[in-house]
């Protein structure tokens, strides 16, 4: 095979830069240079797949005349197109400020990155002072002049352990950003709700996300109190019932985030979120991360089977063959990903003035500036503040822009592999995958490559199958 395949076998500098794939009834290639998916017939597919006499095929010649099937004369230059604009972006375009107001938590969730099951993060009693809060908010104010909506998130640990600090921060921000739309966000375990806290959250319209993993038998496996190791499910449900009684309209705006252990039954959690209480809620889920974990986790076949069945039902709903209420709420997140990661992404150019970069990294600090209890800057809350390589400044000195540029261009660590990878534009690997103390490790990034190519291939197939059956991604 002379074209670049999923595993990268047989790629040469003179090969055409495409990826072949097929659905049940149709054949396609993804043209990397054009960032376009092209439907072809079986004959063209086989010619491209075999690479034998492909330039003698009249249909292939027509495709080349239309600008497709360009050869790779040399590896493209791996450089993020925003590299030279870092100064201006960081000066006036910060989108979101995330305040780590405490490193403490009243829970010890077994899969939490701070729980002791991971190598680089632990809970501490450290908290952010109000002075640090003021400096962080002032810094954000000065560096978000071009941002239409100011957004501030409270992060922990468990943020509500510092309820008074949250109240003081909200009051300070309202005065500071007077005249500008201001949004507040918080993720909480919902065990500390009191009437006073409920009143405050509802009155200030805090965008609330509650961590809830599903039915009690699943939720209580991982989310336990720090002092007695008992599950938190009953406490959360009791608090939510009281909250709904006091502020039913506000409770309808609450989002939920579940963490699924792939050793459990996906159907049980999926069914749980179909209850009436969650009818208007947005529910997202992630799976337990193996990043920096001391223990590897196995994916049960049953989990995958039920997940794919629910996804199949989601596709039937998209094609108007199944009612919305018969589809798992959890699958709508996948449809958003399919639209954003494939449909919208196909509209973007692959090259910018001869330069490109894997799509994983955002501009560090611009999209989600994470400020620790000590006032140190990190690109977002996903990276470990224990890894000094991710430290991009602090409240005293501001941004270290050269470090920001370095983290923006993580593709340079694997530039040979990236420049020849058909899935480069759809890669979601970011700096968080590479950290090791004060270094970035290329091999840690490469470990995810096969998985990313597989996922991209699957998403493109799903996208094409839906299009084949008449689904309009613009609707």
Tokens of 433: 């995958």
**Comparing 60-74, 350-364, 455-469, which segment has the lowest mean pLDDT?**
350-364
Q: According to the model, what pLDDT value does residue 117 have?
A: 47
Q: In angstroms, rounded to a whole number, what is the distance separating the alpha carbons of residues 235 and 216?
A: 11
- Residue 151, Cα to own-chain centre: how many angstroms? 18
pLDDT at 279: 86
Task: Give the per-residue pLDDT at 111.
Answer: 81
CA atoms of 222 and 255, how far apart (whole Å):
20
User: What average pLDDT does the segment 5-34 reach?
Assistant: 75
Pairwise CA distance, residues 435 & 415, whole Å:
17
In the chain, the domains with their CATH numbers are: 1-74 (no CATH), 76-466 (3.20.20.70)
Rounded mean pLDDT of 168-192? 97
What is the length of the chain? Answer: 475
Q: How confident is the model at residue 166 (pLDDT cuts 50, 70, 90)?
A: very high
Q: Which of 44-58, 212-226, 428-442, 444-458 has the lowest mean pLDDT?
A: 44-58
Higher pLDDT, 159 or 2: 159
**Per-residue pLDDT reduced to its tens digit, 381-390:** 988 888 999 9
CB 72 within 8 A of CB 13: yes
How far apart CA 57 and CA 410 sit, in angstroms, is: 40
Query: Where does the pLDDT of residue 4 fall: very low under 50, low under 70, confident under 90, or very high at 90 and above?
Result: very low
Looking at residue 121, what is its pLDDT?
A: 57
pLDDT at position 45 over 60: yes
- The pLDDT of 97-114, averaged and rounded, is 90
pLDDT at 258 over 60: yes
pLDDT tops 80 at residue 293:
no
- 186-195, 252-261, 297-306, 442-451: the lowest-pLDDT one: 297-306
pLDDT band, residue 3 (cuts 50/70/90): very low
Q: What is the mean pLDDT of the chain?
A: 89
Among 111-115, 226-230, 301-305, which is the least confidently predicted range?
Answer: 111-115
Q: Diameter of the chain by CA atoms?
A: 76
User: CB–CB of 306/265 below 8 Å?
Assistant: yes
pLDDT of residue 292: 46
Cis peptide, bond prior to residue 157, ω within 30 of zero = yes
- The answer to whether the beta carbons of residues 146 and 92 sit under 8 Å apart is yes
pLDDT of res. 56: 74
**CA-based end-to-end distance of the chain:** 39
Choice among 191-195, 278-282, 347-351 with the minimum mean pLDDT: 347-351
Burial class (CB in 10 A: 0-12, 13-18, 19+), 294: exposed
Instruction: Tell me the helices (H) and strands (E) count for the chain, helix number first.
Output: 16, 17
Confidence check: pLDDT of 447 > 80: yes
Confidence of residue 81 (pLDDT cuts 50, 70, 90): confident
What was the pLDDT predicted at 440? 93
* R_g of the chain, CA atoms, integer Å: 24
What pLDDT is recorded for position 411?
92
Q: Give 357's pLDDT tier (boundaries 50, 70, 90).
A: confident
Tokens of 36: 């376009």
Ranges 14-23, 154-163, 389-398: which has the least confidence? 14-23
pTM for the whole structure = 0.90
Per the listing, tokens 């043209």 go with: 31
pLDDT-derived band at 360 (thresholds 50, 70, 90) equals low
């Amino acid at each position: 095979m002379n074209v670049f395949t999923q595993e990268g076998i047989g790629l040469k500098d003179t090969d055409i830069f495409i990826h072949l794939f097929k659905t049940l009834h149709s054949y396609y290639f993804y043209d990397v240079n054009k960032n376009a998916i092209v439907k072809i017939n079986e004959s063209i597919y086989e010619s491209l797949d075999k690479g034998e006499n492909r330039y003698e095929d009249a249909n292939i010649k027509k495709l080349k005349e239309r600008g497709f099937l360009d050869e790779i004369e040399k590896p493209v230059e791996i450089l993020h197109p925003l590299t030279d604009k870092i100064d201006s972006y960081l000066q006036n375009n910060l989108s979101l400020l995330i305040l780590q107001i405490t490193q403490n938590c009243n829970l010890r969730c077994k899969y939490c990155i701070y729980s002791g099951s991971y190598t680089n993060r632990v809970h501490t009693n450290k908290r952010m002072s109000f002075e640090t809060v003021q400096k962080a908010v002032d810094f954000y104010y000065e560096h978000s002049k071009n941002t239409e909506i100011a957004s501030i998130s409270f992060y922990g640990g468990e943020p509500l352990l510092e309820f008074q600090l949250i109240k003081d921060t909200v009051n300070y921000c309202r005065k500071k950003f007077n005249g500008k739309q201001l949004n507040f966000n918080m993720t909480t375990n919902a065990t500390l709700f009191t009437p006073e806290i409920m009143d405050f959250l509802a009155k200030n319209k805090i965008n609330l996300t509650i961590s809830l993993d599903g039915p009690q038998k699943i939720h209580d496996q991982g989310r336990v109190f720090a002092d007695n190791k008992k599950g938190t499910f009953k406490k959360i449900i009791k608090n939510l019932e009281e909250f709904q009684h006091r502020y039913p309209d506000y409770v309808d705006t609450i989002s939920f985030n579940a963490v699924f252990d792939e050793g459990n039954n996906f159907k049980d959690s999926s069914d749980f979120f179909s209850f009436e209480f969650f009818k208007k809620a947005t529910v997202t889920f992630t799976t337990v991360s193996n990043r920096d974990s001391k223990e590897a986790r196995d994916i049960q076949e049953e989990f995958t089977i039920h997940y794919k069945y629910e996804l199949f039902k989601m596709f039937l709903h998209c094609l108007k063959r199944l009612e919305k209420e018969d589809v798992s709420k959890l699958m709508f997140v996948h449809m958003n990903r399919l639209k954003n990661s494939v449909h919208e992404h196909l509209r973007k150019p692959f090259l910018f003035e001869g330069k490109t970069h894997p799509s994983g990294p955002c501009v560090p600090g611009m999209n989600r500036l994470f400020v620790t209890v000590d006032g140190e800057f990190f690109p977002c809350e996903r990276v470990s503040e224990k890894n000094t390589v991710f430290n991009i400044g602090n409240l005293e000195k501001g941004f270290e822009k050269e470090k920001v540029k370095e983290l923006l261009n993580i593709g340079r660590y694997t530039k040979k592999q990236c420049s020849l990878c058909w899935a480069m534009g759809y890669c979601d690997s970011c700096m968080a995958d590479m950290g090791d103390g004060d270094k970035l490790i290329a091999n840690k990034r490469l470990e995810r490559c096969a998985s990313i190519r597989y996922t991209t291939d699957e998403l493109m197939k799903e996208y094409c199958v839906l299009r084949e059956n008449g689904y309009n991604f613009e609707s």
